[in-house]
Structure 1
Amino acid sequence: MVTEYGNYVGGEWTDSVSGETFEVRNPAESSEIVSRFQDSTVSDAESAIDTAVAAQNDWATVPGPERGSVLNQASQALEDRKAEATETLVREEGKAWSEAAGEVQRAIDIFAYYAQKAFDLGGVVKSSSGRDKELSTRQEPLGTVTLITPWNYPIAIPAWKLAPALAAGNTVVAKPASVAPNSTRILFECLDEAGLPDGVANYVTGSGSVLGDPLTTHEDIDGVSFTGSTSVGTSVAQAAAEGLKRVQCEMGGKNPTIVMPSADIEEAVEAVGIGAFGTTGQSCTAASRAIVHEQVYDEFIEAIAEYAESLDVGPGLDDPDVGPHVSKGELESTLDYIDVGKSEGATLEAGGEQLTGETYDNGYYVRPTVFSDVDNDMRIAQEEIFGPVLSVIRAGDFEEALALANDTDYGLSASIITQDLTEANEFLDRIEAGVAKVNEKTTGLELHVPFGGYKQSSTNTYREQGDAGLDFFTATKTVYRNY
């Protein structure tokens, strides 16, 4: 018996007015239906927005520490359900068990972090230029906000939007990606268990093409936070801006790792390999380009190809190195890009094929892929693939490597592997990316520091996570008090 889940509106789990549902399938075994969700309509979205708006004033007056207490209890509730949430994430998204468990822990920690940050919200006191006057600022909730989240981190990304939004006193309408809505559902169940007042946080599932417009243009929405592709994010930003709404979009990446002659090649291969093939390459910060100095290029190619071939690919529940793609469409997109790489003249060094056989026939698997002899103007070096495909590009010196790294429309994450302090500092100063790392993989970021990109990786307005995560969800009021 497949479980059907409802929307969460006004503290109740309800069916869509459409009466229709959609299926969520296991990407490791596509014949398995994991669950069914509501195929919501514009009317459902508008109802959720109206409910959130009605609850906003009351939630805004709840003291910050009390809001933080709700988040802390939600964190504890999720901790109690960690194994269940991990299995749910694996079965709907395909991520390897250890990666999924790490993501669930990230959501637990994010709720706990913002539970404490809620105690610090308020403002600052400034010195007035006049006598008998007080001058200060106040942080106030933005109002009612919508959160549109992707499938690749289906519990961590909703958590790092939900937690600061609620900590700051906003009410929320969230729409998860349709291929992976289960993990976000669990977050809302935990908030409900924690005693979040009815209507403060609402959850609506369904097609982005149907729900996107009301969630970004409704007159009562004060802010929109989106994570997803650059094409969709650009449309979201433009639609929200027409209504002068505050908007935050984190989007794609084509992230480079530079490997210099002073690097330990084994360590460089490890950093690039994890960055490129971890989470099946389905991460906006994945290392999709390795820009390697010509002195170590051949050695690196041989080692990274061997690394890719050594990776275990299989169902996420078996905790392999690499799990399946999330859907047939994502698998086909990756296979198409592999064909593009071949046709452009790149040399296929490892992988490059869909996996078939007993374990693989009903899932969406591709072997981790390495291309050498890649020119930076090739499509596989410029377009986001969102699969385990690495393009290795030769550079003659540091200056050329840095120029190649910056020669992209994106600017999310970048790293360099070097033992040369000058190269490291020059890289940090001149790389055009929102996240810059030395001797690290491009993926992964601690939860208390800002996350966001440059160029087409972001709307370049507000960052996420840490104190910056609260900035988006608060408005600043300057207060004069003349006594």
Structure 2
Amino acid sequence: SVAVPVGEETADRLVAALKPRVEGLKVGLSTEPDSDYGPVVSKAHLEKVQGYIDLGLKEGAELVVDGRGFSLQGYENGYFMGGSLFDKVTPDMKIYNDEIFGPVLSVVRTKTFEEAAALPTKHQYGNGIAIYTRDGDAARSFASQVQVGMVGINVPIPVPLAYHTFGGWKRSAFGDTNQHGTEGVKFWTKVKTVTSRWPSGVKEGASFVIPTME
């Protein structure tokens, strides 16, 4: 996941607010209601996510919160990992361009709204994105121009209800339709076309030509 603040002051305030929140995430069993999240799917994936953190440091990003080495008491052999927070990530870094699928948040600082809005459009993936603003014009401009399948405006996770479609664009898409909603109905629907013509009477005789508009 990536957060893109506009302006250095906003970025500093955002990172300062995120740091205690990430550090305070409760990692536990997925079946426990008070857990923020559970383990990753496998040992191989845990090592992969941890490898991305190593890579981010090598690429020059600033690791604000390090979730590596986390161990859950009683489940020391589980595939658990603490939340991690990177700051000063740039678009040329692999931790920005790849989907990590782990508890890692990267902060990419930008100077202008236009610079920030262009990032998701240029990215190879385009699943979901959100903008936080009090400027309605900026929100409308962003929503109409950004090349991403699902957009939230002051909504943290832009996943619509089931009667709307769910799906991304670019490399976040699979197949030619989205899930749920009208797209889901369309996937399971066969189209039948019936063409009929009712003659005004048998006295006019049979017609063996394609009907045309008069």
What TM-score results when the alignment is normalised by the length of structure 1? 0.39
In the alignment, what sits opposite 1:321?
36
SS, match of residue 391 in structure 1: strand
Amino acid at match of 2:3: A
- Which residue of the partner structure matches residue 308 of structure 1? 22
Indicate whether 1:440 and 2:124 are aligned: no
The structural deviation recorded for 1:460 is: 6.0
Partner of 1:408: 123
Distance between the aligned counterparts of 2:5 and 2:50, measured in 1?
Answer: 25
Question: Structure 1 residues 357, 365: CA separation in 2 closer, same or farther (over 3 Å shift)?
Answer: closer
Identify the structure with the greater helix proportion: 1
Task: Select which of 266, 291, 308 maps to 2:4.
Answer: 291
Q: Structure 2: any 5+ residue segments left out of the alignment? A: 199-214
In structure 1, stretches of 5+ residues that fail to align are 1-287
Q: Give the CA deviation at 1:336.
A: 0.9
State the structure with bigger RCO (CA 8 A, min sep 6), 1 or 2. 1
- Residue 444 of structure 1 aligns with an amino acid whose one-letter code is V
Which stretch of the first structure deviates more once superposed, 411-420 or 322-331? 322-331
SS of residue in 2 equivalent to 1:390: strand
Contact 2:26 2:36 in 1 (8 A): yes
Instruction: Check conservation: 1:454, 1:460, Cα contact below 8 A.
Output: no
Relative to its length, the structure with more strand (as a share) is: 1
Contact 2:62 2:88 (C-alpha < 8 Å) held by counterparts: yes
Paired residue for 2:85? 370
C-alpha deviations, 1:214-242, integer Å up to 9, x for none?
A: xxxxxxxxxxxxxxxxxxxxxxxxxxxxx
Give the Cα–Cα distance (whole angstroms) in 2 for the partners of residues 309 and 390 of structure 1.
12
Alignment RMSD: 1.4
Q: What is the TM-score when the length of structure 2 is the normalising length?
A: 0.87
CA distance in 2: counterparts of 1:364 and 1:430, whole angstroms: 39
Q: Distance in 2 between matches of 1:447 and 1:327?
A: 29
Deviations 1:238-263 (A, max 9, x none): xxxxxxxxxxxxxxxxxxxxxxxxxx
Aligned pairs for 1:224-235 within 5 A: none
Pairing partner for 1:344 from 50, 59, 78: 59
Greater gyration radius: 2
> How do 1:75-94 and structure 2 match up within 5 A?
none
Report how many residues are paired. 196
**Secondary structure of the structure 2 residue equivalent to 1:482:** coil
Report the Cα distance in structure 1 between the residues aligned to 2:41 and 2:146, rounded to whole angstroms. 31
CA distance in 2, matches of 1:394, 1:357: 33
Q: Is the contact made by 2:87 and 2:108 (CA closer than 8 Å) also made in structure 1? A: yes
List, as ranges, runs of 4+ consecutive aligned residues in structure 1 with deviation greater than 3 Å. Answer: none
1:56-455 equivalent positions in 2, closer than 5 A = 288-294=1-7, 295-319=9-33, 320-356=35-71, 358-442=73-157, 444-455=159-170
**Matched residue type, 1:372:** D
Aligned pairs for 1:45-60 (under 5 A) are none
Name the % identity. Answer: 36
Q: Quote the Cα distance in structure 1 between the aligned partners of 2:93 and 2:159.
A: 27
